[in-house]
Amino acid sequence: MSPESSGPALALPVLDEELAARLRARLVEVEEALSGHIQSEAAFVTEAARHLMDAGGKRFRPLLVLLAAETGPNAASDEVIHAACVVELTHLASLYHDDVMDEADLRRGADSANARWDNHVAILTGDWLFSKSSELTADLGPDAVRIQAHTFSRLVEGQILETVPPASPEVALEHHLRVVAGKTGSLIATSALYGARFAGAPREIEDALAAYGEIVGAAFQISDDILDIASESDESGKTPGTDLREGVPTLPVLLVRRAGRPEDARLISLLDGDLSSDEALAEALVLLRAHPAMAEARAYVVARAQEAKDLLKVLAEGPVRDALEAFADVVATRTA
Ligand code: FPP
Ligand code: MG
């Protein structure tokens, strides 16, 4: 079979060929369903909503829904596909808003919606996508609506908390981890929970997978923040250094500040200063990349991935558990 006919490439290594083929086929179903869901009667709305969807993306969240569903007897149910669309549309909606907040001009290797059109279009398209995801959630019943509403309030709270300083420098790290758990852990936890729930997995497995998703989500965000500093090019489809330029606190920067080494005076003054010039940003990136805080942040992510994998002991040994372990590993060591 050619790679095209076997479906999209999976964003994680799945050694079991049968499981991999099943996941690829289900992802094709998700893609088709997503494409239908973002069809508006207004052609421009469809165009704006399609923009980032068509630009690509790893589809990590729907993949996690599909993989978590493999732990239950009804992995092939329509509700699982529906749930996968709910999480991807919520995620996509949040990206439109996030790029406005971050003034980002590149996303998934394409112009961000705010750069391609303007902030109004980006914000309203995010709202529209979120309303689509809410409509789909309603089809999944009141429990799903409650879970989605709670997830969404955590996501927005995380994003808001990121814009306010911690109560004191001593709690900066704790504050940051709360932000990360809210803005990213929440939706990835729900992805795993939805998969287990709509495939009819037992409660014990549902709880373990939700906890696993929460930790994997935090690790995913921190890896993303490390990549914002470490990647030399826009291979991630985003502009490196965006967080630094926008003054968004991330784990490596917080670790530099906590270490407070005298030799970091130049780096800290750059971080505290204006990074709008390309020269200043480049200098900060060079100093940061060489700083031991980067290895410390990577070690933190690897430790969290291990914590997540430990939660999988409730699952029977086999290809699904192996793939969920690989998922945690990929998140911890991702390079794009
Ligand atoms: C990416 O963060 C952003 C998020 C994980 C969530 C952002 C959530 C909102 C903006 C609220 C959305 C509200 C509605 C109504 C949809 P990042 O900037 O750290 O990651 P990046 O590197 O991918 O930009
Ligand atoms: Mg951003």
Q: What is the pLDDT of residues 7-64, one digit of tens each?
A: 678 888 888 999 999 999 999 999 999 999 999 999 999 999 999 999 988 899 999 9
Task: Output the average pLDDT for the chain.
Answer: 94
130 lines ligand 1 (CB under 6 A): yes
Do 34 and 134 fall into the same domain? yes
Q: 266-303 pLDDT, tens per residue? A: 999 999 999 999 999 999 999 999 999 999 999 999 99
Q: What is the CATH number of the domain that holds 105?
A: 1.10.600.10
Q: What is the 3-state secondary structure (H, E, C) of the chain?
A: CCCCCCCCCCCCCCCCHHHHHHHHHHHHHHHHHHHHHCCCCCHHHHHHHHHHHHCCCCCHHHHHHHHHHCCCCCCCCHHHHHHHHHHHHHHHHHHHHHHHHCCCCEECCEECHHHHCCHHHHHHHHHHHHHHHHHHHHHCCHHHHHHHHHHHHHHHHHHHHHCCCCCCHHHHHHHHHHHHHHHHHHHHHHHHHHHHHHCCCCHHHHHHHHHHHHHHHHHHHHHHHHHHHHCCCCCCCCCCCHHHHHCCCCHHHHHHHHHCCHHHHHHHHHHHCCCCCHHHHHHHHHHHHCCHHHHHHHHHHHHHHHHHHHHHHHCCCCHHHHHHHHHHHHHHHCCC
Of 106 and 335, more confident: 106
Residue 2 has pLDDT above 80, yes or no: no
Q: 60-69 pLDDT, tens per residue? A: 999 999 999 9
How far, in Å, from the CA of 103 to the mean position of ligand 2? 8
> Do the domain assignments include residue 316?
yes
Lowest mean pLDDT among 67-71, 143-147, 199-203, 229-233: 229-233
> Do the domain assignments include residue 3?
no
How far, in Å, from the CA of 75 to the mean position of ligand 2? 33
Q: Which ligand is nearest to the CA of 180?
A: 1
pLDDT at 70: 98
Do 40 and 166 fall into the same domain? yes
Ion ligand 2, residue ranges at CB < 5 A: 98, 102
Residue 77 has pLDDT above 50, yes or no: yes
Domain that holds residue 210: 202-335
Nearest CA to ligand 1 atom 14: 94
> Do the domain assignments include residue 8?
no
224 lines ligand 1 (CB under 6 A): yes
Do 98 and 229 fall into the same domain? no
Of 116 and 243, more confident: 116
162 lines ligand 1 (CB under 6 A): no
How far, in Å, from the CA of 135 to the mean position of ligand 2? 26
Nearest CA to ligand 1 atom 4: 183
Q: 213-241 pLDDT, tens per residue? A: 999 999 999 999 999 999 886 677 777 88
Nearest CA to ligand 1 atom 2: 98
Do 70 and 143 fall into the same domain? yes
61 lines ligand 1 (CB under 6 A): no
Residue 4 has pLDDT above 70, yes or no: no
159 lines ligand 1 (CB under 6 A): yes
How far, in Å, from the CA of 63 to the mean position of ligand 1? 19
* Structural domains in the chain (count): 2
Do 157 and 305 fall into the same domain? no
Do 119 and 229 fall into the same domain? no
Residue 6 has pLDDT above 70, yes or no: no
Which atom of ligand 1 lies at the shortest distance from residue 228's CA?
A: 22
57 lines ligand 1 (CB under 6 A): no
Do 109 and 34 fall into the same domain? yes
**Percentage of the chain modeled with pLDDT above 90:** 85
